[in-house]
Amino acid sequence: MRSFNGHSGLARRTFLGGLATGGVGMAVAQAAPPQPLAARLPDAMTRPGGADLPYGLPAAQEAQVERTLSTAAGFPVWRTPLQHQRGIITPSGLHFAVHHNGVPDIAPERHTLKVHGLVHKPLRFDLERLLRYPMVSRVHFLECAGNSAANALSPTALDQTLGEIAGEVSCSEWTGVPLAYLLNEAGVKDSAQWVVAEGADGGSHSRSLPLKALLEHGMVALYQNGERLRPSQGYPMRLFMPGWEGNVNVKWLHRLEVTDAPAYTKDESGLYTQVLADGRIERFAFHMEVKSVITHPSGQQRLPEPHGFCEIAGLAWSGRGRIARVDVSLDGGRTWAAAQLHGPVLDRAFTRFTLPWQWNGRKADLMSRATDEHGRTQPLRSEWKRRYAMHSFNHYNAVQAWRVQADGRVENVYA
């Protein structure tokens, strides 16, 4: 006991010193002449801190964590920097956004939602009335049908960040009124089969949706991550259909017309139809398929050390249900290992996965392949390309591969 106490100071210093040289980069103070307490404290501990803000902002030092803008489609597409996301919820300010005709400036007190067409009692809801209905909250991803289009179309893999390549997907907690409450109150007629949803933006973005699915899963979302929708996400209200392609989630929703047939609006007959390899056209492809990306390490990152421990981390999702497993390959798809899924594993939501990796400092091709609870799994890029016509790009869910070069730099590659 006595000798242990006598040596504990030395033993402790040796242990910490060992850790410091062992690679965790911790600086350890050596024995030094005694200093006044204030001189030994970090600056911030020696005086009162600064003021806070009425609405909080990220740390100034994190300013590089931003959405990136693409105009390749002819309209602005803001993409989530997924490489910086650790966790399943995308901060609202980083949610991706696609606006075909800009963000309308809507006065909430004048906005209304009309339910009409094949109904017994046409209804009109202002926001105040809608906010009095019972609401549900659900965590769900939202993905643009055109996410990862460049990987589908570009003959060579573009050297970009993950956000630039596949950032047209985000995940939020959405809170709102189930559509069934509103449609049942209006009373749909026997001949009713479809609903045309229209937005109050310049181009009156509109889509036809099967009534049965809307009654089962549709929501008029009013809140996102606990606060009212952001203008960019459809303030003051949007349609939300969990797991379905982004463009059916009509923002700035102002009209639901119950019909007996689809309307074949411009938004569903042009950009969002998908041409198959044999020339046939998929008219309505609502579900987003199972998909995953390794977020770390990912495109344009650089591993800090030529050798050493690195946690492979990523996100997986499926428009048809829960994620059942994610396999990770470190050798370009020759061998696979099951990654650990981190809960909560939610229906049609981001699921986080990780795999510990000891990098040996040699070139390595990393891939992730998710499988959902229905046994659907991601195709390789070559398999996906065989299924669709050469110029098709919607619903691209092929396995994403990253090459870690010997110097630690990470690049997008086709596997």
Q: Which residues bind ligand MTE (CB under 6 A)?
A: 95-100, 142, 144, 199, 201, 205, 232-233, 246-247, 249-252
For the chain, the distance separating the N- and C-terminal CA atoms, rounded to the nearest angstrom, is 61
> Considering CB distances under 5 to 8 angstroms, the limit depending on partner class, which of Mo ion, ligand MTE, none binds residue 251?
ligand MTE
**Segment near Mo ion (CB under 5 A); pick from 35-43, 97-105, 158-166, 287-295:** 97-105
Is 246 one of the binding residues for Mo ion (CB under 5 A)?
Answer: yes
Is 378 one of the binding residues for Mo ion (CB under 5 A)?
Answer: no
> Considering CB distances under 5 to 8 angstroms, the limit depending on partner class, which of Mo ion, ligand MTE, none binds residue 402?
none
Smallest distance from the beta carbon of 197 to Mo ion, in angstroms?
A: 14
Dump the DSSP string for 108-172.
GGG-EEEEEESBSS-EEEEHHHHTTS--EEEEEEEE-TTTTHHHHH-SS-----HHHHH-SEEEE
> Considering CB distances under 5 to 8 angstroms, the limit depending on partner class, which of Mo ion, ligand MTE, none binds residue 97?
ligand MTE
Between strands 112-117 and 219-224, the pairing is unpaired
Smallest distance from the beta carbon of 302 to ligand MTE, in angstroms?
A: 30
Task: Give 179 or 415: the residue with its C-beta nearer to ligand MTE.
Answer: 179
Task: Give 142 or 177: the residue with its C-beta nearer to ligand MTE.
Answer: 142
Smallest distance from the beta carbon of 135 to ligand MTE, in angstroms?
A: 19
**Lookup: tokens for 292:** 């995953």
Smallest distance from the beta carbon of 25 to ligand MTE, in angstroms?
A: 38
Task: Give 204 or 377: the residue with its C-beta nearer to ligand MTE.
Answer: 204
Q: Is the peptide bond before 344 cis (omega within 30 degrees of 0)?
A: yes
**Lookup: tokens for 206:** 């509109």
Is 98 one of the binding residues for Mo ion (CB under 5 A)?
Answer: yes
Task: Give 348 or 369: the residue with its C-beta nearer to ligand MTE.
Answer: 348
Centre a 10 Å sphere on the Cβ of residue 334 and count the other Cβ atoms it contains: 8
CA distance 199 to 204: 5
Smallest distance from the beta carbon of 315 to ligand MTE, in angstroms?
A: 16
Its sign, for the CA torsion 279, 283, 287, 293, is positive
Q: What x/- string results for residues 214 through 243 when contact with Mo ion is judged by CB under 5 A?
A: ------------------------------
Smallest distance from the beta carbon of 399 to ligand MTE, in angstroms?
A: 22
Q: Is the peptide bond before 297 cis (omega within 30 degrees of 0)?
A: yes
> Considering CB distances under 5 to 8 angstroms, the limit depending on partner class, which of Mo ion, ligand MTE, none binds residue 353?
none
CA 267 to mean position of chain CA atoms: 23
Task: Give 162 or 339: the residue with its C-beta nearer to ligand MTE.
Answer: 162
Smallest distance from the beta carbon of 80 to Mo ion, in angstroms?
A: 13
**Can you tell me which residue has the tokens 């510990």?**
356
List the Cα angle 201/206/207 in 5-degree steps: 155
> Considering CB distances under 5 to 8 angstroms, the limit depending on partner class, which of Mo ion, ligand MTE, none binds residue 99?
ligand MTE
Q: By three-state DSSP, how is residue 186 classified?
A: helix
Task: Give 394 or 400: the residue with its C-beta nearer to Mo ion.
Answer: 394
**Segment near Mo ion (CB under 5 A); pick from 95-103, 134-142, 254-262, 343-351:** 95-103
Smallest distance from the beta carbon of 268 to ligand MTE, in angstroms?
A: 11
Asked if residue 77 lies in contact with residue 271, where contact means CB atoms within 8 angstroms, the answer is: no
Amino acid at site 342: H
CA distance 283 to 277: 14
In angstroms, what CA-CA distances link 337 with 104, 334, 381? 47, 11, 20
Smallest distance from the beta carbon of 241 to ligand MTE, in angstroms?
A: 11
DSSP H helical segments within 246-331, as ranges? Answer: 266-269
Amino acid at site 263: A
| CA-based R_g, the chain, Å | 26
Smallest distance from the beta carbon of 102 to ligand MTE, in angstroms?
A: 8
Task: Give 144 or 294: the residue with its C-beta nearer to Mo ion.
Answer: 144
> Considering CB distances under 5 to 8 angstroms, the limit depending on partner class, which of ligand MTE, Mo ion, none binds residue 208?
none
Question: Pick from 144, 177, 197, 253: which binds Mo ion (CB under 5 A)?
Answer: 144
Task: Give 180 or 271: the residue with its C-beta nearer to ligand MTE.
Answer: 271
> Considering CB distances under 5 to 8 angstroms, the limit depending on partner class, which of Mo ion, ligand MTE, none binds residue 229?
none
Asked if residue 283 lies in contact with residue 389, where contact means CB atoms within 8 angstroms, the answer is: no
Is 247 one of the binding residues for Mo ion (CB under 5 A)?
Answer: yes
Asked if residue 169 lies in contact with residue 142, where contact means CB atoms within 8 angstroms, the answer is: yes
**Can you tell me which residue has the tokens 């973005």?**
205
* Phi–psi pair at 266, nearest 5 degrees: -55, -35
Interface contacts to Mo ion, rule CB under 5 A: 98, 144, 246-247
